[in-house]
Amino acid sequence: MILPVIKYGHPVLRQKGARIESVTAEVRQLIGDMFETMNASKGIGLAAQQVGQALQLTVLDLRVVTDRPSTLELKGKPTDVNDFMPLVLINPEVKPVGEPVTGPEGCLSFPEIYGDISRPESVDVKALNEKGKPIEFRCGGLLARAVQHEADHLNGILFIDRMDRKTKAELRDELDELQATTKAALEVTRKKR
């Protein structure tokens, strides 16, 4: 089922996700719905907060991107990124290993808003997969950027929090407008209840 994508201005995007202790039928359903929602929006990553659930769960699929390279190492061995997709990360722990690099980012919760963000070039990741099995990998390039963007969501951190002051100032009006629209829609829903 395609779920509505929560937009900037909704408080759930600021909530830290609860850890998932076991992959229940409900969690499996949510994972399926998140992939459907992400694919329908042509995204490469989606966090549970973006469909209204404050949980430590994110899904990624970079196969649609061909112009921004990624690297992946499993136990120190270079591996094909596409073979690793689609990717589910539950309770992820992300440790930076590379120097910061700047690159463009967008977010499904911020339609048509893009900005350059500086993040470590590569990261070590430990998480559970969709079967509840522990996985560990090192990644770089776009995958590292996407993993860090999604892991931030799980802690209530948004990409605008990591923009430099100038970029954020340039986007100020668009951000204020999006936030106001989201809040107004929430108010209407609240009054209907």
Interacting residue ranges for Zn ion, rule: CB under 5 A: 107
CB of 138 to Zn ion, least distance (A): 22
Shortest CB 74 distance to Zn ion, Å = 26
- Nearest residue (CB) to Zn ion, 107 versus 142: 107
- Closest distance of CB 86 from Zn ion, Å: 17
3-state secondary structure of 81: helix
Look at residues 177, 111, 178, 123 and name the one whose alpha carbon lies nearest to residue 149.
123
In terms of C-beta distances under 8 Å and separation of at least 24 residues, what long-range contacts does 99-108 make, across chains too? Answer: 103/68, 103/142, 103/145, 105/145, 105/149, 105/159, 107/149, 107/158, 107/159, 108/5, 108/38, 108/41, 108/43, 108/46, 108/50
The residue (of 21 and 116) whose beta carbon lies closer to Zn ion is 116
Output 58 or 70, the one with its CB closest to Zn ion: 58
What are the angstrom distances between the C-alpha of 83 and each of 63, 80, 87, 161, 180?
A: 9, 6, 10, 32, 41
Known active-site residue 150: yes
In this chain, which residue has its C-beta nearest to Zn ion?
107
Annotated catalytic residue, options 73, 93, 121, 150: 150
Pick the closer one to Zn ion by CB: 139 or 151: 151
CB of 32 to Zn ion, least distance (A): 20
Hey, which residues are catalytic here?
150
